[in-house]
A = this chain, B = another copy of it.
Amino acid sequence: MQWVKGLGLGLGAAALLALGIILGHFAIPKKGDSPAPSISAPQDLDLELLESVMGQLDASRIREDLRELSREPHLASSPRDEALVQLLLQRWRDPASGLDSAKAFEYKVLLSFPSQEQPNSVDVVGSAGDILYSCHRSEENLTGEQGRPDVVPPYAAYAPSGTPQGLLVYANQGTEEDFKELQAQGIKLEGTIALTRYGGAGRGAKAVNAAKHGVAGVLVYTDPADINDGRSLPSETFPNSWHLPPSGVERGSYYQYFGDPLTPYLPANPSSFRLDLANVSGFPPIPAQPIGFQDAKVLLCNLNGSLAPTAWQGALGCDYRLGPGFWPNGDFPADSQVKVSVHNRLQLRNSSNVLGIIRGAVEPDRYVLYGNHRDSWVHGAVDPSSGTAVLLELSRVLGTLLKKGTWRPRRSIVFASWGAEEFGLIGSTEFTEEFFSKLQERMVAYLNVDISVFANATLRVQGTPPVQSVVFSAAKEIRSPGPGDLSIYDNWIRYFNRSSPVYGLVPSLGSLGAGSDYAPFIHFLGISSMDIAYTYDRSKTSARIYPTYHTAFDTFDYVDKFVDPGFSSHQAVARTAGSVLLRLSDSFFLPLNVSDYSDTLRSFLQAAQQDLGALLEQHSISLGPLVTAVEKFEAAATALGQYISTLQKDSADSLQVRMLNDQLMLLERTFLNPRAFPEERYYSHVLWAPRTGSTATFPGLANACSRARDTSPGSEAWAEVQRQLSIVVVALEGAAATLRPVADL
């Protein structure tokens, strides 16, 4: 009480009262305030923590995880695939570095495998039925890993069984145009076997196009010109370089859609309704089989007929001819045929997704999903284990912070390891079907890292416009691997860039197709999604994809020696994805810049005006309403941006920010219309559904125009053009309405 004495009484009383008031006001938290960090000073992204996470992401641990993940082949539903389910559960349940909880979700799905009793085969047979040449049934055992019994022989998943035999023709990439060209050249395709090369058309599409012209069977190979920059000698290929060996064969799914083929729109639970096989669509109509270029060379270089167009020529060291059949002076009698024997079996198999969650501290009902598939074709070191190794390292670092009690995200983080992706994004699709409403209401974004490193040159991101800004923010703060002291962003912009009317020169994001598990999230649920990887210097290689893709040569040593020695690119991807993940889960204001959609809409609109405007005018269809809708969106997005900056200035309470964040999170949903393209299974996003044409514009409008182009005015097809135009206009106006002040009429 010493200090009190010095005060005069009256003054003292007043002062004491005042002091007390001050103490009472500032020193004691209001009851109403607790427990909520969301209420008092709202937690925002902690940059120091972000820095330390970046520092803890360890290249050598990624390397060790990759070694373990790719030690054995882990084809979907195989024993090793199941073992990896357990590995993931054990990691995510680890007391020192695990998540809050982890769980496996099993589905019963229809997969396709080659018969073990009756191996698929491709033979050249003489007129007497005698076998003159047999293609290799497996890849050459170059490293000891290709000889394992659990290496699935090359095959075309979901291709029907059958043993077609006929004269061989060469059909380039098996596109509709390619077969039209053969027809134009007067080549009779009925009953032939078409040899095609990977690229151009999807796997299944080659068989579909071929069947339309009466082709009886399809062979698919990888031309050294498309994958090896022309190299084809053993001395030039793996294990002597990263190039594809002559015996390498790309496996893959030939199913046209995605998701479990028997349960469209329904989760493949044991009790779920399953289509009768007779009613399943999307399987190849005729037998198909992939072969290596060593065998393709024997077939192709013996072909008869006229010379193939220059664009069809490849790097097998001979002139490619069209056939049909072999030339008299070659290795086979002219009347020799090719026999394709396919004995694939459809099987109902159990396949699991593994999910792990870190519960959000403030908004546990907001989910940031980070996923990759687990299943591979063979060892799958690059595809998908390079991504899974990054996933495990990221979950380890975050799990460790969590278990130490030093950190918990504002929003929930969900890690996912999908099953059976290689057969058609099956695990992720069944997941979205089972939890449709929950995910559509609560998912902030989906982050996919499948193949994390194709090559070491640069970052490559595919995504919808709202994720551009957060990826940029992350990439600017991380040092790029390799020489120089560039940020990942500054390195990236050197390889992929575009000039934005708003920002000037920026790295360009690719758009999302259906190449990996992001497809059901963006197309079916309307969740802002992205796919992140490190990739090639396109000036140094024209390879379609990394050379050993889907072969038995995609092994740990391949990655360790040729793809990313030192794993610095893996680390770069882990840091970029990790930074994006933390920014999405911890930022007070969601870092989704919806106004970046304006760029896209503007460019879609201009493309429509340039490429379709004249045609539409001829049919007196005006793009005016579309122009107005785009302008309304731009205006609403701009105004919302200004509102955000004012909110950021004068400390908004967490409920105000929640309302704003809901607008940002849900914008992508407003572009979804399940009635827009009912025939396009799962595709409901009116901006990103598949486009048939080359014009980068609104897909529904573009596709309807190309269907209507050759029909008479007033046809149903032209009515559909107008319907599609209205669908886009309504979607854009609806989107703008959700961006405007919430109490506006």
Which chain B residues lie closer than 8 Å to A54 at the CB level?
none
A84 at the interface (CB under 8 A from B): no
A106 at the interface (CB under 8 A from B): no
Contacting residue for A412 out of B39, B359, B743, CB 8 A: B743
B359 touches A36 (CB 8 A): no
Contacting residue for A21 out of B20, B670, B675, CB 8 A: B20
A272 at the interface (CB under 8 A from B): yes
A109 at the interface (CB under 8 A from B): no
Measured between alpha carbons, how far is A265 from B731 in the docked complex, in Å?
A: 12
Which chain B residues lie closer than 8 Å to A311 at the CB level?
none
B734 touches A438 (CB 8 A): yes
A36 touches B357 (CB 8 A): no
B734 touches A273 (CB 8 A): no
**CB 8 Å contact bits of A659-676 with B (1 = contact, 0 = none):** 100110010011000110
B738 touches A38 (CB 8 A): no
- Which residue from chain B places its CB closest to the CB of A272 in the assembled complex? B726
| A interface SS class | helix
Measured between alpha carbons, how far is A700 from B727 in the docked complex, in Å?
A: 28
| A552 → chain B closest CB, angstroms | 35
| A265 → chain B closest CB, angstroms | 6
B441 touches A364 (CB 8 A): no
A723 at the interface (CB under 8 A from B): yes
A655 touches B36 (CB 8 A): yes
Which chain B residues lie closer than 8 Å to A30 at the CB level?
25, 30, 33, 40
Interface centre among A18, A35, A276, A726 (most CB of B within 10 A): A726
**CB 8 Å contact bits of A344-374 with B (1 = contact, 0 = none):** 0000000000011101101111000000000
B365 touches A670 (CB 8 A): no
| A322 → chain B closest CB, angstroms | 44
B39 touches A653 (CB 8 A): yes
Measured between alpha carbons, how far is A421 from B383 in the docked complex, in Å?
A: 58
A499 at the interface (CB under 8 A from B): no
Which chain B residues lie closer than 8 Å to A26 at the CB level?
24
Known: A20-B18, A437-B738, A624-B271. A659 touches B727 (CB 8 A): no
A49 at the interface (CB under 8 A from B): no
Which chain B residues lie closer than 8 Å to A4 at the CB level?
9-10, 13
Interface centre among A42, A654, A730 (most CB of B within 10 A): A730
A442 at the interface (CB under 8 A from B): yes
B362 touches A655 (CB 8 A): yes
B31 touches A28 (CB 8 A): no
Query: Which of A95-103, A298-306, A594-602 contacts the other chain?
Result: A95-103
**CB 8 Å contact bits of A80-111 with B (1 = contact, 0 = none):** 00000000000000000000111100000000
Contacting residue for A669 out of B42, B355, B437, B651, CB 8 A: B437
> How many of these chains are in the complex?
2
A504 at the interface (CB under 8 A from B): no
**CB 8 Å contact bits of A277-300 with B (1 = contact, 0 = none):** 001000000000000000000000
Which chain B residues lie closer than 8 Å to A13 at the CB level?
1, 4, 12, 16
Measured between alpha carbons, how far is A372 from B393 in the docked complex, in Å?
A: 58
B22 touches A659 (CB 8 A): no
Contacting residue for A730 out of B22, B359, B434, CB 8 A: B434
Known: A38-B655, A742-B442, A745-B103. A267 touches B730 (CB 8 A): yes
Known: A100-B743, A655-B36, A656-B36. A738 touches B441 (CB 8 A): yes
A365 touches B678 (CB 8 A): no
Contacting residue for A437 out of B101, B437, B734, CB 8 A: B734
A355 touches B745 (CB 8 A): yes
Which chain B residues lie closer than 8 Å to A445 at the CB level?
none
- Which residue from chain B places its CB closest to the CB of A362 in the assembled complex? B655
A662 touches B24 (CB 8 A): no
Measured between alpha carbons, how far is A665 from B4 in the docked complex, in Å?
A: 58
A307 at the interface (CB under 8 A from B): no
> 19 extra interchain contacts, Cβ-Cβ under 8 A, other than A38-B655, A356-B745, A364-B743?
A9-B9, A21-B28, A22-B24, A24-B24, A25-B25, A30-B33, A31-B651, A33-B653, A39-B655, A273-B722, A273-B725, A357-B743, A364-B742, A365-B659, A412-B742, A435-B737, A436-B734, A437-B734, A441-B666
Q: Which 5 A-B pairs have the closest CB atoms?
A: A20-B20, A24-B24, A21-B24, A365-B742, A36-B653
